[in-house]
Homo-oligomer: A and B are copies of this chain.
Amino acid sequence: MTPLFYLADLFGVMVFAITGALMAGRKSMDLFGVLVIALVTALGGGTLRDLILDNHPVSWIRDDTYILVASLAAVGTVLWVRLTRPINERGLLVADAFGLALFTVYGTEVALQHQVPISTAVIMGVMTGVAGGVIRDVICNEIPLIFQKEIYATACIAGSLVFIGLRHLDLAHELATGIAMLVVLLTRLAAIHWHLSLPQFHLLDRD
């Protein structure tokens, strides 16, 4: 991992930890709850990916900077909100889109290094990007947001496929990473700006 990519990865961890801490605050959790939800949101997707790929040790065991960054982000979020500074929701959405782009491409790459089928690589990319948020929502007793609102995971699928395609064409690693991240980022920002959503599947509950 290049130093630039490593810093970007830590930035993604920080952003996801902040979204976790904010959700925990909406559920009036105590400080420990805030910390756990922040850690799970930031590191859950990558952990699940590593378990399924049998890729040990998982990232935050190999390097405890991840735990440190996520914990500081959680504590920082609580302090920030306590000092009654408003949260810049728009800024957070953009930062979240950046973290999503990075996690997706990184997850896809880890999978490719394990010589898995393309379908698995895409699933691992999407899982790295979104599973932390899904676990966060499930623990907080919410139906996961990403299954109901605005194009989110679709952006991951697109970015993951673009990355796989460019790598098959032997494009330089940095360039493929940059282009694929841009695909996720722009798709996501467009979805936020124009409130784009996938069609929903409504089925009446007949039970």
List which A114-169 residues lie within 8 A (CB) of chain B: 116-120, 123, 134, 138-144, 146-149, 152-154, 157
Q: Is A31 a contact of B142 with CB atoms below 8 Å?
A: no
In the complex, the count of this chain's copies comes to 3
Given the interface pairs A147-B30, A147-B32, the reply to whether A54 lies near B57 with Cβ below 8 Å is yes
Measured CB to CB, the closest approach of chain B to A53, in angstroms, equals 8
Q: Is A198 a contact of B32 with CB atoms below 8 Å?
A: yes
* A29 located at the interface, meaning its Cβ lies under 8 Å from any Cβ of chain B in the complex: yes
Residue ID in chain B nearest A145 by CB atoms: B207
The binding surface of chain A is classed by DSSP as helix
Measured CB to CB, the closest approach of chain B to A76, in angstroms, equals 12
Q: Scoring A residues 47 to 69 as 1 if CB is less than 8 Å from chain B, else 0, what string do you get?
A: 10001111011101100100110
Number of interface residues, chain A, beta carbon within 8 A? 62
* A183 located at the interface, meaning its Cβ lies under 8 Å from any Cβ of chain B in the complex: no
Residues of B within 8 A of A37 (CB): 147
Q: Is A36 a contact of B153 with CB atoms below 8 Å?
A: yes
Residue ID in chain B nearest A123 by CB atoms: B67
Residues of B within 8 A of A134 (CB): 139
Q: Which of A33, A154, A202 lies at the interface centre, i.e. has the most chain B CB atoms within 10 A of its CB?
A: A33
List which A20-40 residues lie within 8 A (CB) of chain B: 21-22, 24-34, 36-37, 39
Given the interface pairs A26-B203, A28-B202, A144-B139, the reply to whether A64 lies near B153 with Cβ below 8 Å is no
A-B contact pairs, 10 of them (CB 8 A): A28-B148, A28-B203, A31-B201, A32-B147, A39-B123, A51-B52, A54-B57, A61-B116, A68-B119, A140-B143
